[in-house]
């Protein structure tokens, strides 16, 4: 395990990482099917469910910063966003009696249904 100083930027569900002296990213992690785990006070890790040996550790400047990153990364996946959309869709439907996605013609799409899995 070699420690390297990197700058990171979260864009939707990609975590881009940069060398400290370069503007272009040297890589990116797709935050799908992964686990975000708080390791130590200022350290969290990202590991991938299908490749458990593939693990990335990140050290933050403070405990507060570490917690903020963990929370943001856990909310960044497509699956989290999908579940949130379904939850709020159901809540709006309960309150109004109308499916809010119906007006867009997408209410019957499988990706917006409970219990379906994207292949």
CA pair distance 33, 78, nearest whole angstrom: 10
Q: What tens digit of pLDDT does each residue of 19-76 get?
A: 989 999 999 999 999 999 999 889 999 999 999 888 999 999 999 999 999 999 999 9
Q: What tens digit of pLDDT does each residue of 64-87 get?
A: 999 999 999 999 988 888 889 889
Phi and psi based region of residue 98 (left: phi greater than 0; alpha: psi -120 to 50; beta: remaining): beta
Q: Is the pTM of this model over 0.75?
A: no
73 Cβ contact partners less than 8 Å away, ≥ 6 residues apart: 10, 15, 31, 36, 44, 46
Q: Residue 110 has what pLDDT?
A: 77
Contact between 57 and 42 under an 8 Å Cβ cutoff? The reply is: no
CA pair distance 22, 104, nearest whole angstrom: 42
- Within 10 angstroms of residue 13's Cβ, the number of other Cβ atoms is 18
């Amino acid at each position: 395990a070699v420690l390297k100083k990197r700058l990171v930027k979260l864009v939707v569900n990609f975590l881009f990482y940069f060398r400290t002296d370069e503007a272009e990213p040297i890589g990116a992690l797709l935050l799908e099917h992964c686990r975000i785990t708080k390791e130590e006070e200022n350290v969290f890790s990202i590991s991938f469910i299908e490749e458990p040996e593939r693990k990335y550790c990140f050290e933050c400047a403070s405990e507060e910063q570490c917690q903020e990153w963990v929370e943001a990364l856990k909310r960044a996946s497509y699956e989290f966003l999908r579940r949130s959309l379904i939850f709020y869709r159901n809540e709006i439907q309960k309150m109004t009696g109308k499916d809010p996605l119906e007006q867009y013609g997408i209410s019957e799409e499988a990706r917006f249904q409970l219990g379906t899995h994207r292949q």
